[in-house]
Amino acid sequence: MTRSALTTPPPDAVLPRPLPGGPAPGATLGSHYSGCFGCGEDHPTGLRLTAVTPDGVTVVATFTVGTAHQGAPGLAHGGVLATAMDEVIGMLVWLFQRPYVTARLETDYLAPVPVGTVLHMRAWCNGMSGRKAYLEAEGRIGSPDGPVAVRAAALFIEVGMEHFAEHGDAQAIIDEHHEYEVNP
Ligand SMILES: CCCCCCCC(=O)SCCNC(=O)CCNC(=O)[C@H](O)C(C)(C)COP(=O)(O)OP(=O)(O)OC[C@H]1O[C@@H](n2cnc3c(N)ncnc32)[C@H](O)[C@@H]1OP(=O)(O)O
């Protein structure tokens, strides 16, 4: 992965460990919001990704590229592929049981992805330091060990629930996830 210093963990970063009460190995991770473009089951044109965590610290997901996702005729749009990378990384940070948002996303496109492709994605964390999580993802064509078509490195920042209350609709999150409180 061509990664900038901004998405490279510092020497003091630590690797995450599975958290008590987190999903069991092999568990499917639910959507964080039903209206989310990346994972929401109610979104009419979204990617509707679902992910599985094999071990409590990484996630895998598949995304079938459809005609709604084209850039060039017959080929996936690069922005849609970046969205898929952002979302699978977002599903990974959900395992940390604290709210994070994308601060920076870097993407390498290595091969065109035709419509009809099943993209096998994997995301993992390279280290955490304070509020910062340094993350990486890849998408492979056709199978978990197929050719890599897209790679991403990201910096996510932990925020409080007030981030969503101040800038968005925190109540919509709380309505779906009763474990979250805006002013705990
Ligand atoms: C519970 C429901 C979960 C739902 C999840 C949904 C996830 C999403 O939708 S993400 C959407 C897209 N992302 C966003 O909208 C985020 C927009 N950005 C922001 O809100 C802010 O810039 C935010 C929160 C990332 C950082 O702001 P703030 O909290 O004030 O922190 P700030 O002091 O600026 O930065 C903290 C550290 O991160 C670094 N940093 C912040 N942004 C970046 C960046 N883009 N690149 C590199 N470093 C950065 C800062 O330099 C600082 O580093 P240091 O501590 O070493 O000085």
Taking the whole predicted model, whether its pTM rises above 0.90 is answered as yes
Hey, what domains does the chain have and what are their CATH numbers? 23-176 (3.10.129.10)
Each residue's pLDDT, cut to its tens digit, for the chain (184 residues) gives: 789 999 999 999 999 999 988 889 999 998 989 999 999 999 988 999 999 999 999 999 999 999 999 999 999 999 999 999 999 999 999 999 999 999 999 999 999 999 999 999 999 999 999 999 999 999 999 999 999 999 999 999 999 989 988 999 888 888 887 665 554 4
Strands 148-158, 132-141: pairing kind = antiparallel
Task: Kindly provide the ipTM of the predicted complex, given to two decimals.
Answer: 0.97
Ligand 1 centroid from CA 10, angstroms? 17
Closest ligand 1 atom, CA of 94? 3
CA dihedral 10, 13, 18, 19 (to 10 degrees): -120
CA distance 29 to 31: 7
